[in-house]
Amino acid sequence: MKKNIVIAIVVFAVTVGVYLLTAHLLRKVDPPDTAYFNYLADAFLHGRTYLLNPPVTADLTRFEDRWYVPFLPLPAFLLLPWVAIAGAEKTSTVLFGSLMGALNTALVFLLLQALAKRRWIRLPTIDNLGLTLLFGFGCVEWYIAMEGSVWFLSQVCTVTFVLLSLWIAVEFHSPVLSGTALALALFGRPHLVLVCPLLFAIGIQLARDGNDRSGKDHPYRFVLIFILHCLSVYA
């Protein structure tokens, strides 16, 4: 486990470096005007749900002479500490997106290693690392992570919590923590409730394999606790 964490940290650091270097080379270091979530976080800190004087109004919703962000607020929640310290104008959504994208890449590696430990896949560490790099640098993740715009920040952050939910389910078989992670993902993209059958299957299979650390190996215990906790957090 410690070795996997160390490798995941290295993967995270390398991915952040490549993403930020790419943003610099493409001259996309400055956050786009359509970032919005930094301004939404600032609105939350001031007890509002609408934006004051947004730089642009593309993709915003106007209601009673006020501009609202029509996207679910997961990234804004995550940005609250940063915005509280630095302010909305000095919050870099490009850096934030790159950090979250790099975290996604590290979580992919940890998930693959957890699956290998369960022998649900039979790949060595080097192969899992190769698949991880394909995720980080061989798909759209590379582009959307460093973009910093409202649509892509939401996608990147949602993927973070979906991967976290899957990793926790496989590695720790914790329906409470896994359900919490998925509930948070639903604050970014609610249609990802469709991931639930996969998580249910993981819990049922672990119980049947006798890997339930609580000692109560009823196949549907994980499912019941997961559903109840996910609903309680999302509600």
How confident is the model at residue 2, as a pLDDT? 87
Per the domain annotation, does 152 fall within a domain?
Answer: no
Other CB atoms within a 10 A radius of the CB of residue 235 amount to 6
116 domain residue, yes or no: no
- Indicate whether 185 belongs to any domain: yes
Tokens of 139: 């798909």
Read off the tokens for 147. 């973009």
Domain extent for 181: 173-235
Q: Kindly report the pTM of this predicted structure.
A: 0.91
Q: Which of 64, 86, 108 is the last residue of a domain?
A: 86
Residue after which a domain boundary falls, among 48, 68, 86: 86
Q: How would you classify the pairing of strands 66-68 and 61-63?
A: antiparallel
| 161 within domain boundaries | no
Q: Are 98 and 23 in contact (CB under 8 A)?
A: yes
Per-residue pLDDT of 55-69, as tens digits, reads 999 999 999 999 999
Q: What torsion do the CA atoms of 176, 187, 74, 184 make, to the nearest 10 degrees?
A: 10
In a domain, 100, yes or no: no
118 assigned to some structural domain:
no
- In eight-state DSSP terms, residue 197 is H
pLDDT of residue 215: 45
**Residue 193 CA neighbour count, 13 Å, CB half:** 8
CA torsion 223-213-173-177 (nearest 10°) is 90
Q: Which residues of the chain have pLDDT under 50?
A: 212-215
Q: Is residue 19 in some structural domain?
A: no
CB atoms within 10 A of CB 105: 26
pLDDT in tens, 78-128: 999 999 999 999 999 999 999 999 999 999 999 999 999 999 999 999 999
Structure tokens at 75: 């990234």
Q: Please give the tally of structural domains in the chain.
A: 2
In a domain, 216, yes or no: yes
